[in-house]
Protein backbone atom coordinates (compact mmCIF):
# COMPACT_ATOMS: atom_id res chain seq x y z
CA UNK A 1 0.00 0.00 0.00
CA UNK A 2 2.79 2.47 0.90
CA UNK A 3 4.58 1.94 -2.41
CA UNK A 4 1.39 2.27 -4.48
CA UNK A 5 0.36 5.42 -2.61
CA UNK A 6 3.72 7.16 -3.15
CA UNK A 7 5.12 5.95 -6.48
CA UNK A 8 3.64 5.67 -9.94
CA UNK A 9 3.50 2.23 -11.56
CA UNK A 10 6.48 2.97 -13.84
CA UNK A 11 8.62 4.13 -10.88
CA UNK A 12 7.71 0.95 -9.00
CA UNK A 13 8.89 -1.12 -11.97
CA UNK A 14 12.09 0.95 -12.14
CA UNK A 15 12.85 0.50 -8.43
CA UNK A 16 12.14 -3.25 -8.44
CA UNK A 17 14.51 -3.64 -11.40
CA UNK A 18 17.45 -2.03 -9.59
CA UNK A 19 20.20 -4.16 -7.98
CA UNK A 20 19.13 -2.80 -4.56
CA UNK A 21 15.39 -2.15 -4.83
CA UNK A 22 15.02 -1.19 -1.15
CA UNK A 23 17.62 1.55 -1.51
CA UNK A 24 16.01 2.73 -4.73
CA UNK A 25 12.54 2.95 -3.12
CA UNK A 26 14.02 4.70 -0.08
CA UNK A 27 15.92 7.16 -2.28
CA UNK A 28 12.78 8.12 -4.22
CA UNK A 29 10.78 8.52 -1.02
CA UNK A 30 13.50 10.58 0.74
CA UNK A 31 13.73 12.85 -2.26
CA UNK A 32 9.99 13.44 -2.36
CA UNK A 33 9.96 14.23 1.37
CA UNK A 34 12.85 16.67 0.91
CA UNK A 35 10.99 18.36 -1.96
CA UNK A 36 7.87 18.72 0.20
CA UNK A 37 9.86 20.43 2.96
CA UNK A 38 11.72 22.70 0.55
CA UNK A 39 8.58 23.79 -1.31
CA UNK A 40 6.75 24.37 1.98
CA UNK A 41 9.49 26.61 3.32
CA UNK A 42 10.33 28.61 0.18
CA UNK A 43 7.81 31.37 0.78
CA UNK A 44 6.87 31.56 4.46
CA UNK A 45 4.21 34.19 3.73
CA UNK A 46 2.19 31.72 1.62
CA UNK A 47 -0.64 29.97 3.47
CA UNK A 48 -0.62 26.18 3.70
CA UNK A 49 0.11 24.85 0.22
CA UNK A 50 -0.70 21.14 0.59
CA UNK A 51 -4.46 20.84 0.28
CA UNK A 52 -5.00 17.08 0.21
CA UNK A 53 -5.63 16.49 3.92
CA UNK A 54 -2.61 16.81 6.16
CA UNK A 55 -0.43 14.85 3.76
CA UNK A 56 1.36 16.16 0.73
CA UNK A 57 0.65 14.26 -2.49
CA UNK A 58 3.92 12.33 -2.85
CA UNK A 59 2.68 10.49 -5.92
CA UNK A 60 2.35 13.91 -7.62
CA UNK A 61 6.10 14.50 -7.23
CA UNK A 62 7.98 12.51 -9.84
CA UNK A 63 11.73 11.93 -9.70
CA UNK A 64 13.10 11.29 -13.18
CA UNK A 65 16.59 10.96 -14.57
CA UNK A 66 17.64 13.93 -16.70
CA UNK A 67 19.69 13.50 -19.85
CA UNK A 68 22.78 14.37 -17.80
CA UNK A 69 22.07 11.44 -15.46
CA UNK A 70 21.13 13.72 -12.56
CA UNK A 71 17.80 13.36 -10.77
CA UNK A 72 15.16 15.88 -11.79
CA UNK A 73 11.81 16.75 -10.19
CA UNK A 74 8.59 16.90 -12.20
CA UNK A 75 5.48 18.22 -10.44
CA UNK A 76 1.99 16.98 -11.30
CA UNK A 77 -1.49 17.73 -9.94
CA UNK A 78 -1.61 19.12 -6.40
CA UNK A 79 2.18 19.23 -6.13
CA UNK A 80 2.34 21.38 -9.25
CA UNK A 81 -0.30 23.70 -7.76
CA UNK A 82 1.75 23.98 -4.55
CA UNK A 83 4.96 24.73 -6.45
CA UNK A 84 3.26 27.46 -8.47
CA UNK A 85 1.62 28.92 -5.35
CA UNK A 86 4.96 29.22 -3.55
CA UNK A 87 6.83 30.49 -6.61
CA UNK A 88 9.18 27.56 -7.20
CA UNK A 89 11.17 28.10 -10.40
CA UNK A 90 13.66 25.23 -10.08
CA UNK A 91 14.54 22.29 -7.85
CA UNK A 92 17.88 20.53 -7.34
CA UNK A 93 17.82 17.12 -5.65
CA UNK A 94 21.03 15.28 -4.86
CA UNK A 95 20.23 11.70 -3.81
CA UNK A 96 22.46 9.06 -2.27
CA UNK A 97 21.55 5.50 -1.35
CA UNK A 98 23.20 2.19 -0.60
CA UNK A 99 21.81 -1.05 0.80
CA UNK A 100 19.05 -0.08 3.24
CA UNK A 101 20.02 3.57 3.63
CA UNK A 102 19.08 6.66 1.64
CA UNK A 103 19.38 10.41 1.94
CA UNK A 104 18.26 13.32 -0.18
CA UNK A 105 18.29 17.08 -0.11
CA UNK A 106 16.08 19.44 -2.07
CA UNK A 107 17.05 22.99 -2.91
CA UNK A 108 14.37 25.20 -4.43
CA UNK A 109 14.30 28.68 -5.79
Q: Which residues contact 74 (CB under 8 A, 6 or more apart)?
A: 61, 62, 63, 64
CB 44 within 8 Å of CB 83: no
Residues of the chain scoring pLDDT < 50? none
Q: Measuring CA to CA, which residue among 86, 108, 98 is closest to residue 24?
A: 98
Q: What is residue 53's predicted lDDT score, i.e. its pLDDT?
A: 59
Helices (H), 1-109: 2-6, 9-17, 21-42, 77-86
Q: What is the mean pLDDT of the chain?
A: 90
Instruction: Kindly report the pTM of this predicted structure.
Output: 0.89
Amino acid sequence: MFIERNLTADKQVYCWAQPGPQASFAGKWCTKEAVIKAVSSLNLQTPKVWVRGDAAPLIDIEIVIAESGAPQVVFHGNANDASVKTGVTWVKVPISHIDDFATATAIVQ
